[in-house]
Chains A and B, each alone.
Chain A
Amino acid sequence: MNAAVNATAWVGVFLIASTSSAGDVLTAAAMRRLGGLDRLYSQRGVSGLALSLIQNRKFLLGVSAMAASFFSLLWSLSRSDLSFITPASNAMTYVLNAGGAALFLRERVNVQRWAAMLFVAGGVWLLAQ
């Protein structure tokens, strides 16, 4: 890949990873807000559960971000190599998720959890080699 293609590929990777991570963080925030879904299901049934999900703004934003991530993936794959885009975006998503969870969800991302995320990110990268 030449320099221009590399820059485009990296833009694509960042777009995919950031939107995917935003989707994960927003969905996680929505689920935490709602509480245990099994309890909610036993209290309100399927229709009540679905209504609670649809009425939750963070959940809708999260799903929209996931959709944006999918379209970013399509856009990137039309311009760059699959063998670079997929592992790079997956690995970056893991790192952004850990940062987003610590920053926005106030999760205790200690050394152990950072290590787990980085191990998986590195493993995903190596699997695609």
Chain B
Amino acid sequence: LIVNACAVPAETVCRNGIAGSEGLTFYIVSARQIVLSCKVEQMTSGNQRQNTISSTPPKASDKEALTRDSADDLRLNFKKAAILAAVPITATSGNTLLALGMRQVGRIGVHNWQLLFTALINPYIVAGVLLLIGFFSTYLLALSWADLTYVIPTTSFGYILVPLISHFVLNESISQYRWMGIGLICCGVVIGARGPVRSSLLPGREGVR
């Protein structure tokens, strides 16, 4: 397979041996890339297959993308799910701690700007800032292996954390509109989490590299 890789189009390999379905679009220059392309092909079933068939030769960015990434990058595993879950949890808890800290410190204005330094050593605010740093780090980490349109809906359940906690822990009432909103966001998260985490690795979508 490795010896013949330079001459054999991935399409042929996919059709005859590995994937057993319609082939990919471009010529691959290593065995690893052929295996990857066949895995990619398997994931482009159903309504995601419309862009896969093309007779154009490979672009440099396609090769670069396939060389750098592996087929595992398309799947959601436990580690990625944990990072995606950490994004809204750290954001919500960080904002909550900041709000608690600022409530302790009091309103900061021009006449009492020195309070700003008091705020910086408040334990709630320090913890909140650390959590928000954690939020930004996990957000960047998620964006480094997932699409923006994958990360945003799947991390949006942070919006429903506060209403649900306030309802079930603090026994606060939630209006009908809010329940509908919570339901819509849950649907959005579930729908958004389906499919590959990175669509730009699929053929014909070289993306911004």
Contacts and interface: CB of A to CB of B under 8 A. Distances in A.
Contacts of A101: 147-149
A33 B208 contact: yes
Contacts of A35: 68-69, 144
Nearest to A40: B144
A97 B152 contact: yes
Given A106-B206, A117-B152, A123 B188 contact: yes
B149 A107 contact: yes
Nearest to B179: A126
Nearest to A94: B152
A83 B105 CA distance: 25
Which range contains the number of B residues in contact with the other chain?
Answer: 35 or more
A77 interface: no
Contacts of B200: 32, 105-108
Contacts of B147: 28, 101, 105, 107
A5 B203 CA distance: 48
B205 A106 contact: yes
Contacts of A25: 148
B180 interface: yes
A112 B156 CA distance: 16
A120 B140 contact: no
A32 B150 CA distance: 13
Contacts of B181: 122-129
A28 B68 CA distance: 17
Given A105-B208, A126-B177, A119 B185 contact: yes
Contacts of B73: 36
A74 interface: no
B184 A123 contact: yes
A127 B205 contact: no
Interface string A1-37: 0000000000000000000000011011101111111
Most buried by B among A105, A107, A111, A128: A107
A95 to B, nearest CB: 11
B123 interface: no
Interface in B49-69: 51, 68-69
B188 A120 contact: yes
Contacts of A27: 140, 143
A88 B138 CA distance: 26
Nearest to B162: A127
A79 interface: no
A44 interface: no
Interface of A: 24-25, 27-29, 31-38, 53, 94, 97-98, 100-102, 104-113, 115-120, 122-129
Given A24-B152, A110-B195, A120-B185, 18 more contacts: A24-B148, A31-B140, A32-B200, A34-B144, A36-B145, A38-B144, A97-B152, A107-B207, A113-B153, A116-B192, A120-B152, A123-B160, A123-B185, A124-B159, A126-B181, A127-B160, A127-B178, A129-B181
